[in-house]
Amino acid sequence: MQERGHVRIRQERARTRILFSVLMIPVMYVIFLIPLIMVPLATAQDSRPVAVIHGDSHASVRQTVYLDGSMSSDPKGLGLSFQWTLVSSPTGSSATFADDTNSQVKFEADAVGMFRVKLVVNNGLLDSAPTYYTIRVTE
């Protein structure tokens, strides 16, 4: 028997067999890791989170509008990240969210008309279907 590094070579009936001693460990590690990564992704297909918006649906010009997405949920109880978007606003408005990644957001209603907001939540694997909310602003 000859030893070369981590591979032992042994002659047996005119055939050479290579036995892996140390090299076998990383290969087994990778083989076992793949199923752990694949299983949550495969089962998550039918477990999308659900986005829910609560808040002011009517406001006056120059009033701060508060919206709350904290009632959004994930069927498996995973933590959520939030992405708010101001989809449409009245002509002349320059409204924006102070921070569009929090569970609660606010903006100043700076024009008369309809503001349309979208919320999408993510559980680390999947996005929810978008949820829309309309705020009517009057004088």
pLDDT number for residue 128: 97
CA-CA-CA-CA torsion for 13, 18, 22, 28, nearest 10 degrees?
-110
Is pLDDT at 60 greater than 80 in this prediction?
Answer: yes
pLDDT number for residue 45: 54
Q: Please give the model's pTM, rounded to 2 decimal places.
A: 0.67
Domain boundaries, the chain: 2-46, 54-138
pLDDT in tens, 10-54: 444 434 444 444 344 444 444 444 444 444 444 545 689 999 999
pLDDT number for residue 47: 85
93-117 average pLDDT score = 95
Superfamily of domain 54-138: Immunoglobulins (2.60.40.10)
Phi, psi of 42 (to 5 degrees): -70, -40
